[in-house]
Chains A and B, each alone.
Chain A
Amino acid sequence: MNSEPVIKIRDLKKTFKSNNGGVIEAVAHVNFDVSENDFVCIVGPSGCGKSTLLRMVAGLETITSGRITYRGEDVSKPRKEIGMVFQEYSLLPWRNVIDNVALGPEFLGVPRQERYDKAMDYLRIVGMEAFSHSFPHELSGGMRQRVAIIRALANDPDVLLMDEPFGALDAHTRILLQKELLRIWENHRKTILFVTHSVDEAIYLADRIMVMSARPGRIIDIIDVNMDRPRHRSDPIYGQLAEQILAVLEREASVSFGNANTERMTEMKENLCLN
């Protein structure tokens, strides 16, 4: 079952033109596979190109060179098998909750009654059926991201891409949504590629963690998280993994910026402690 990877990334490279005419390399030499039902997290310092990487997998960004394939087919534009959840609030403010959830099926031409039944089913999954006619501005941040997640699920995608979806939430809500996401992942069997700058979040969620370097982003380490679920943050393995990942990031930071630059590391360590 796990023989053929769902997502394959080979020699991926992405460059941007900068404003002063130069070329910025955002992502370089990225190679990895994501297997069926895997939960893969990508961690890395801010601005390392991890969001760009995810946007390329989503088909929102062009590829400079290399390949991204979904079940053997090249990804060059968005496709319904690949869903995405963003960090920014992305619900359409002029549509109520159920109209937002039904948006994907609406684009795909699912008949009205069918798509609203479906949207309602997904609202029940996150316990938000009572809010079906509320507008996004009436919801809390956590609720908005719940709706954003089920909106992506309503198209029944195979792969779910998540770009720091809980980044804007407070610590408590964040932990709650992490649990909820794991429940959805276990019940609905999705393949998830999740970007975060929080080492803690990555260890809590992932089967496998890809550690990315500073720009140009490369995968500098791949760590398998062999912990039983549900995971506990008090588990000694948890702390060891965190140490290990932070050490990789620290070594990388000193290579790219020299020993003087420890600012990013401090920031990352703070993130770990806060969560």
Chain B
Amino acid sequence: MGIKGFFVRTGIYLLVPFVFIALWGFIARHFANEVILPDVGQVAKLFMKPTESLISMGSLTTNVAVSLVRVLAGYMLAVCIGVPLGIIMGYYGTVFKLLNGFLAMFRPIPPLAWVPLVLAWFGVASLATLFHIDRGTAYIYLSNLKFSMIFIIFIGAFYPILTSSIHGVMGVRNIFLDSARVLGANHWDIFRKILLPGASPSIVNGMRIGLGVAWMCLVSAEMLPGSLSGVGYLITHAYTLARTDIVIAGMISIGMIGAFLDLFFRIIENRKFVWTRLTR
């Protein structure tokens, strides 16, 4: 292959994005209206100085960081509840029958549809309210973690994680359970050393999808009242000021972070779960 091969291989990934950007630049210059479509350079400039404060809302990086912390808070909650619950539902038929019908009713409700109810319940309460902190550095961080946002993100991530954990456990072959029992495994051993690793390829796949959905719920969560930061809020606020370049920069940030998080999971899957591809 050599150098030429390298360029051919890399080129094939970059070709379509390159054409897309060129087309964007061409159309933008054609219309010459930065509210409808700003030029590539204008958006690129924002990425050149990502730490500079924008429309008095803090910089792109701080807003991305705030959003990331929010998503991770809601997502962690979904993982902590979804994975154990999914394993238990997958293993104990009775628990599955007890809960599945109930949980299936809530599955089709889009996270956004929860907004009015969630606002009625939590209003602008945040972790800062919970811990009775109303000043200082801790307040700045904790007040950004509103319950309503965490809930919306949680709902988005919860179902893919739960479903794939249930299916992962149901897919663990009985022979593994039987041989573990004969070798002296107790219930805790079965959960930790057979069900969890046996279901983990499916669980990690669900966690990957869940993180994607959680990240997608971000914009709707950050449109909730009381939010004064985050990429989602930055986008909506920039829209009211007709700063389309910031809107696009925000969208690109969301897309890139999402793609990186997905890549992170793919690397784990490739490293850790070689056995799933090679076993029948």
Taking beta carbons and an 8 Å cutoff, which residues of A are in contact with B? 55, 58-60, 78-80, 82-84, 86, 88-90, 92-95, 103-104, 106-108, 135-137, 148, 151-152, 155
Contacts and interface: CB of A to CB of B under 8 A. Distances in A.
Contacts of B173: 88
Interface range, B side: 20 to 34
Nearest to B200: A94
Contact of A92 (B178, B197, B274): B197
B104 interface: no
Nearest to B201: A94
Contact of B189 (A79, A80, A107, A155): A107
A16 to B, nearest CB: 16
B14 interface: no
A88 B275 contact: no
Given A59-B181, A83-B183, 4 more contacts: A80-B184, A92-B194, A94-B273, A136-B279
B128 interface: no
Nearest to B189: A107
Contacts, number: 71
B175 to A, nearest CB: 5
Given A60-B181, A94-B275, A107 B197 contact: no
B122 interface: no
Contacts of A103: 180, 183, 193
Q: Interface residues of B: mostly helix, strand, loop or mixed?
A: helix
For A55, A78, A95, A155, which residue has the most chain B Cβ atoms within 10 angstroms?
A: A78
A86 B279 contact: no
For A59, A137, A151, which residue has the most chain B Cβ atoms within 10 angstroms?
A: A137
Contacts of B278: 135, 137
A88 B175 contact: yes
A187 B178 CA distance: 27
B204 to A, nearest CB: 12
Nearest to B194: A92
Interface in B25-81: none
B137 interface: no
A150 to B, nearest CB: 12
B179 interface: yes
Contacts of A79: 184
A74 to B, nearest CB: 17
Given A92-B197, A135-B275, A86 B178 contact: yes
For A95, A104, A151, which residue has the most chain B Cβ atoms within 10 angstroms?
A: A104
B111 to A, nearest CB: 34
A83 B184 CA distance: 9
A78 B190 CA distance: 14
